[in-house]
């Protein structure tokens, strides 16, 4: 297990979440786990509005953890997903620095 005081890869973090929580997460299922993610996204939104950097950091970590948990429940390798979608640049324009039109999302 990586030292939590150092950097961590997406794959290492996904394995941490799998090792710590997979049994509970699978028992809760996708729907229950998704509801926890949505609750954490709401808490992140509040932290961003309030402007408290410590709380923002905690809520970003929670959102990432719950998103990773859902990926584990449905057997999605996040590293593979990220590389597949973003490994060649912006999915919209294919550039490493996005040149998609300003309206809408790339």
- Give the integer Cα–Cα distance in Å for 105 and 31: 27
- Give the integer Cα–Cα distance in Å for 80 and 86: 10
β partners of residue 89: 87
Q: Tell me, what's the pLDDT at 102?
A: 80
pLDDT digit string, tens, across residues 49-102: 999 999 999 999 999 999 999 999 999 999 999 999 999 999 999 999 999 988
The answer to whether 82 touches 10, Cβ cutoff 8 Å, is: yes
The encoded tokens of residue 47 equal 């932290």
Q: What is the pTM of this model?
A: 0.86
Q: Tell me, what's the pLDDT at 106?
A: 60
Query: What residue ranges define each of the domains in the chain, with the CATH number in brackets?
Result: 10-75 (1.10.287.1080)
- Give the integer Cα–Cα distance in Å for 19 and 88: 31
Residue 46 has pLDDT above 90, yes or no: yes
What average pLDDT does range 44-48 have in this prediction?
97
């Amino acid at each position: 297990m990586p030292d939590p005081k150092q950097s961590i890869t997406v794959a290492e973090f996904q394995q941490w979440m799998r090792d710590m929580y997979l049994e509970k997460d699978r028992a809760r299922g996708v729907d229950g786990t998704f509801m926890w993610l949505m609750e954490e996204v709401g808490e992140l939104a509040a932290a961003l509005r309030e402007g408290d950097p410590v709380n923002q950091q905690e809520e970003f970590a929670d959102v990432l953890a719950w998103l990773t948990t859902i990926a584990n429940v449905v057997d999605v390798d996040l590293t593979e997903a990220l590389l597949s979608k973003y490994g060649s640049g912006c999915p919209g324009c294919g550039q490493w620095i996005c040149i998609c039109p300003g309206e809408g999302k790339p």
